[in-house]
Amino acid sequence: MKLVMPDSVASSQDLAIILRDVQSYSNWASRELIKQKVAGKSTSAQPILSEDATQIIRAWSAGKPMTQASIDELLEALEAYRKSAPTITITLAAIPSGDVKKKLVAWCRKELNQNILVSFRLNRNILGGLVVAYGSHIHDWSFRRKLLESNTRFSEVLVNV
């Protein structure tokens, strides 16, 4: 089965939450299987999972009942994804909204790599624009850099405004 990450799971921290939720689900399912074999009935409610974890589990099962083996395969796939996924860091001057994050993650997964993990950082000193770090490359499209590279001094620009 192919693991497809929703755009709402952007960073390695988001993926860690998904891993924790699926591990919790796996522990619960394992206990329930034993209870059903011994007592013949289920005794505890399913753990509360995040919306993303639920979506990933449903996509992984493809409408079939989840077995302990398929849950273990999902955990292995998530762990392999976490270890092998390329990462990119986007630094912004303000905290991005959820929609902005999803759009940036969707663009990165469409244009760069479908498995990329995107981390967001906040640095008010860049004043605007963004700075992208990917591997050993840093691309700076910040307003601060534009001001510092300008031939005219910022104070002169302000006087003329």
Q: What tens digit of pLDDT does each residue of 6-42 get?
A: 888 888 899 999 999 999 999 988 888 877 777 776 6
Name the DSSP letter for residue 64: S
> What is the rounded (10 degree) CA torsion for 135, 77, 48, 95?
10
Residue 71 has pLDDT above 80, yes or no: yes
Residue 133 has pLDDT above 90, yes or no: yes
Name the pTM for this structure: 0.74
Choose from 38-42, 138-142, 143-147 the range with maximum mean pLDDT: 138-142
Residue 134 has pLDDT above 80, yes or no: yes
pLDDT on residue 160: 65
Which parts of 40-137 fold into alpha helices (H)?
A: 51-61, 68-84, 98-111
Residue 110 has pLDDT above 80, yes or no: yes
pLDDT on residue 91: 95
